Chains A and B, each alone.
Chain A
Amino acid sequence: MAEQKNNLLSKNLGLIRSLIVKQKRYDYAFAGLGMFIIASLTIALLILFIDLVIDGYPRFTLDFFSNFPSRRAARAGILSAWVGSSLVLFVTFFAAVPLGVAAGLYLEEYAKKNWFADLIEINVSNLAGVPSIIYGLLALGLFVYGFGLGQTILTAGLTLALLMLPIVIVSTREAIRAIPIHIREAAYAVGATKWQVCLHHIIQYSYGGILTGIIIGMARAIGETAPIITIGALTFIAFLPPSPIGIEPPFLNFEWLNSGFTVLPIQMFNWISRPQLAFHVNAAATGAVIIMLTLLMNGAAIKIRYNIRKKIKW
């Protein structure tokens, strides 16, 4: 009787074992599939990037960075594009960062949990999902024609700032939320006001996280093309905006804000759209420059975030 029972048990065990072995095959198959997909995606993208660099390689000379765009592909360069990109980003930075950090700080530290804070929150998450070209239309209707700013560096900088704002707000909030409550309580206990707590503690400790968001936002702004095309800024620019630093007092002038401009992705788009193959080489070289800039910036942001995670133990 007992033997029979044992036999049955071992028979069942064997059944279960073979069942598990059979099921385990799916494990291996899926793990293999997952690895294969990730590897092939990475390799495909790597090939594309390498191809881009190889295509653009003949144009990686000093002249390419110091020449204006030209009708002759071999003499064309990206001087006006990279100067334009830097100036536009400068405007974007000073418009988006203070506003974004302030808004994030308000939502995390000041806002009471009521319908109004909810409203702001819903708006921020919604804005992050609005396609970039819609911001271009907003800028076209409001900045270019409504405020009469025209197709200038100021318009482009503000447009990109609108795009960057949700990114800065969200990353500021995430960084602040990670700070434990007892830091605030300790500061209040020694008599600090709310603003002192924010300025001396909250901002100090969330600095790295906020910086990460700013860099990611700026990297996105560098590559953003559609909104700038939409404001009508696709023109042939073979001049530089007036220099922001003058030789005479007051040494700073702001005429460059009202200057026409071009930026790197627009220059690239311009060259892709031409039928001549020689210009496609220029486009590839510009693309490689943009990719390297954005990869460097995003890489730096990821590194900073990683360091924070490793370093900070509350």
Chain B
Amino acid sequence: MDTTKKLTISPRLAKNFRRNFIERLIEFGLLSSGMIAIFITLAIIYTLVSEAIPFFQHVSIIEFLTDTVWTPNFSIKHYGILPLISGTLTTTGIALFVAIPLGTITAIYLSEFASHKVREIIKPILELLIGVPTVVFGYFALMIVTPFLQKIYPDLTTFNMLGPGIVMGIMIVPYIASISEDAMRAVPMAIREGSYAMGATRFQTAVRIITPAAISGIVAAYILGISRAVGETMIVAIAAGQQPNFTFNPVESAATITSYIVSVALGDLEHDGIGYQSIFAAGLTLLIMTLFLNILGHIARKKFSERY
């Protein structure tokens, strides 16, 4: 038997084979691009954990979580993360104190009260504000907001947590407003109409019907805002001073987790020194905090999307 004849495939089929092969190849290429996301996550966890392990061999976790002094780069070394966490929580708290009321009211106004025309103007402005770089907000906090606060409260030092906290709050308003508004607009019109038909006013509908109906979306927006504030770096690095200070007093200067990382990175980094490892331990703490918040936000959003 002539074997070669058996192996020749019709040109149409041959073309199909090549075609299928290329299709598979492309699908594989696209799949690998998609898997990049998984690789990045793994790389983040691996880098932070592998650099933090030598740190925790040197410092016990109990000391890390309970000591109230953080001086890894001084001669007398203390490794308590609490001062950094207190700074992070204080600035975040001030930011939320500003951002949650302003953001929520803006969202309710845009979703339930504003005319179509007003909304078309305000929404793009909000999106523009989300794009403003944080280093510029840091400049505002240090050069404009803090001097202004000093006029009201003369004892305020140049570096404090109040000014950057307020600026951070203003920075977060567009995030909270934009996402909460989306959640409120997703509430079906029929629910609104039902409320109006019962004789409720706009305000009653907005506060008693729409807000509860959209609450999980609104909560997700708050959580995203908290997560932004916790991870915000440049505003606090510029305007809050970079000295770790275990205090919740907003008029004092303090360091946050992020601004500590910046202050170490600004100096000469000794690779594999304890100072170098300490920023990875701090980073790991930050990652765990934001991861926890992101998961909470995810759960809130899941609940929201199941609603209707």
How many whole Å from A126's CB to the nearest CB in chain B? 6
How many whole Å from A198's CB to the nearest CB in chain B? 8
The one of B105, B204, B266, B280 that contacts A34, using a Cβ cutoff of 8 Å? B105
Q: Is B191 an interface residue (CB 8 A)?
A: no
Residues of the B chain whose Cβ atoms lie less than 8 Å from the Cβ of A133: 231, 233, 258, 261-262, 283, 286
Residues of the A chain whose Cβ atoms lie less than 8 Å from the Cβ of B265: 136, 140, 229-232, 234
Interface residues of A in 159-213 (CB under 8 A from B): 162, 165-166, 169, 193-195
**In the bound complex, what is the Cα–Cα distance between A109 and B231 (angstroms)?**
33
> Interface readout for B45-76 with A: 1 if CB under 8 Å, 0 if not?
00110110000000000000000000000000
**In the bound complex, what is the Cα–Cα distance between A29 and B201 (angstroms)?**
12
Contact in complex: A33, B134 (CB < 8 Å) = no
Residues of the A chain whose Cβ atoms lie less than 8 Å from the Cβ of B280: 137, 141
**In the bound complex, what is the Cα–Cα distance between A252 and B124 (angstroms)?**
41
In the complex, besides A102-B29, A137-B279, 15 extra interface pairs with C-beta distance below 8 angstroms are A27-B113, A27-B201, A103-B33, A110-B30, A129-B224, A133-B258, A137-B283, A223-B132, A223-B133, A223-B135, A225-B135, A232-B269, A272-B139, A291-B133, A295-B128
Residues of the B chain whose Cβ atoms lie less than 8 Å from the Cβ of A30: 105, 108-109, 113, 202-203, 206
Question: In this complex, which of B199, B203, B279 has the most chain A Cβ atoms within 10 angstroms of its Cβ?
Answer: B203
> Interface readout for A78-118 with B: 1 if CB under 8 Å, 0 if not?
00000000000000000000111011011100110000000
Contact in complex: B135, A34 (CB < 8 Å) = no
Contact in complex: B291, A126 (CB < 8 Å) = yes
Residues of the B chain whose Cβ atoms lie less than 8 Å from the Cβ of A26: 201, 203-204
Ranked 7 nearest A-B pairs via Cβ? A223-B133, A131-B231, A34-B109, A102-B33, A141-B47, A226-B233, A106-B30
> Interface readout for B273-293 with A: 1 if CB under 8 Å, 0 if not?
000000110010011001101
The one of A134, A142, A145, A294 that contacts B287, using a Cβ cutoff of 8 Å? A134
How many whole Å from A255's CB to the nearest CB in chain B? 25
Task: Give A23's nearest chain B residue, CB to CB.
Answer: B201
Residues of the B chain whose Cβ atoms lie less than 8 Å from the Cβ of A131: 227, 230-233, 258, 286-287, 290
The one of A132, A283, A298 that contacts B127, using a Cβ cutoff of 8 Å? A298
The one of B26, B30, B203 that contacts A103, using a Cβ cutoff of 8 Å? B30
Q: Is A74 an interface residue (CB 8 A)?
A: no
Contact in complex: B127, A230 (CB < 8 Å) = no
**In the bound complex, what is the Cα–Cα distance between A94 and B113 (angstroms)?**
44
Contact in complex: A230, B262 (CB < 8 Å) = yes
Q: Is A42 an interface residue (CB 8 A)?
A: yes
Question: Which segment, of B1-9, B36-44, B244-252, faces chain A?
Answer: B36-44
**In the bound complex, what is the Cα–Cα distance between A301 and B298 (angstroms)?**
27
A interface vs B, CB < 8 Å? 16, 20, 23-24, 26-27, 29-31, 33-35, 37-38, 41-42, 44-45, 48, 51-52, 55, 98-100, 102-103, 105-107, 110-111, 119-120, 122-127, 129-138, 140-142, 145-146, 162, 165-166, 169, 193-195, 216, 219-220, 222-226, 229-232, 234, 265, 268-269, 272-273, 280, 283-284, 287, 290-291, 294-295, 297-299, 302, 306
Question: In this complex, which of A105, A230, A295 has the most chain B Cβ atoms within 10 angstroms of its Cβ?
Answer: A230
Contact in complex: A134, B133 (CB < 8 Å) = no
Q: Is B234 an interface residue (CB 8 A)?
A: yes
> Interface readout for B108-143 with A: 1 if CB under 8 Å, 0 if not?
111001100000001011011111111110111011
Residues of the B chain whose Cβ atoms lie less than 8 Å from the Cβ of A134: 44, 48, 231, 283, 286-287, 290
Interface residues of B in 135-189 (CB under 8 A from A): 135-136, 138-140, 142-144, 170, 173
**In the bound complex, what is the Cα–Cα distance between A133 and B298 (angstroms)?**
22
**In the bound complex, what is the Cα–Cα distance between A132 and B234 (angstroms)?**
10
Task: Give B36's nearest chain A residue, CB to CB.
Answer: A99
Contact in complex: B131, A294 (CB < 8 Å) = yes
Q: List 27 A-B contacts (CB under 8 A).
A: A27-B203, A31-B202, A34-B110, A34-B113, A35-B109, A37-B109, A41-B173, A45-B129, A98-B33, A99-B36, A123-B41, A129-B290, A133-B283, A137-B47, A138-B43, A145-B271, A165-B40, A220-B131, A223-B131, A223-B133, A223-B136, A226-B134, A230-B261, A272-B142, A287-B136, A290-B135, A295-B131
**In the bound complex, what is the Cα–Cα distance between A125 and B224 (angstroms)?**
12
Residues of the B chain whose Cβ atoms lie less than 8 Å from the Cβ of A44: 170
Task: Give A290's nearest chain B residue, CB to CB.
Answer: B133
Q: Is B34 an interface residue (CB 8 A)?
A: yes
Known: A37-B106, A105-B30, A127-B40. A132 touches B231 (CB 8 A): yes
